[in-house]
Amino acid sequence: MDEKRVLLAVLVLTLALVVGGTLSSLSAATLRAHHVPKRAIPRAKPKPRHVNPRRTLRLRATAWHWQSIIGRRHSKLAAPLASPRALRYWNRQARRILRAAKNPPHKAQWLCIHRFEGSWSDSGDPYWGGLQMDRGFMRTYAPSLLLRRGLANRWSALEQMWVAERAHRTRGFYPWPNTARSCGLI
């Protein structure tokens, strides 16, 4: 029924333009009688946007990396990587976990210890990084990061703080006895 109304309205408007030259020759009653509401006109569905799966993979890798560093379980999604839904999901997960990663629980204390220890890229053997971690410490508290990225001098400052936070959960600030005492932590 709606399709017939649409065709009839188009036919009437075309006829009016051909015969009268303008729409002014149609009466208002005629136009109202053949008015087609907007909802009656079928709309074409928008084509799904093409999503580059590499971008989604990068976002997922970022989210999983920081979830591993922080000590959270990896997020999961059953949607295909090339779908817009997957892109939105992994974008949201990556933003959320990066926001959490920027604020380790004892950030001020780690920065104080760092001031007394060395630069974040300190590569002096037997201790590496801004929190002066030795090989045993890194092997115990960040084995996957040690394998993937090397020694602590190649990690970002946040990664070093999160590894130290993992040690703090079990041992407190005692792996840094002198500097923790200087910072008033022990």
User: Which domains can be identified in the chain, with CATH numbers?
Assistant: 2-40 (no CATH), 53-101 (no CATH), 107-182 (1.10.530.10)
Length of the chain: 186
Burial zone of 110 (CB within 10 Å; 0-12 exposed, 13-18 middle, 19+ buried): buried
Phi and psi, residue 128, nearest 5°? -130, 150
Q: How far is it, in rounded angstroms, from Cα 158 to Cα 76?
A: 24
Identify the pLDDT of residue 48: 61
Which residues of the chain are modeled with pLDDT < 70? 1, 15-42, 45-49
Would you state the structure tokens that stand for residue 165, as one six-digit string?
């936070």
pLDDT for position 162: 94
For residue 33, the model assigns a pLDDT of 59
Which DSSP symbol is given to 128?
B
Distance, CA of 135 to CA of 141 (rounded, Å): 10
Q: What is the pLDDT of residues 59-95, one digit of tens each?
A: 999 999 999 988 889 999 988 888 889 999 999 999 9
Give residue 108's pLDDT: 92
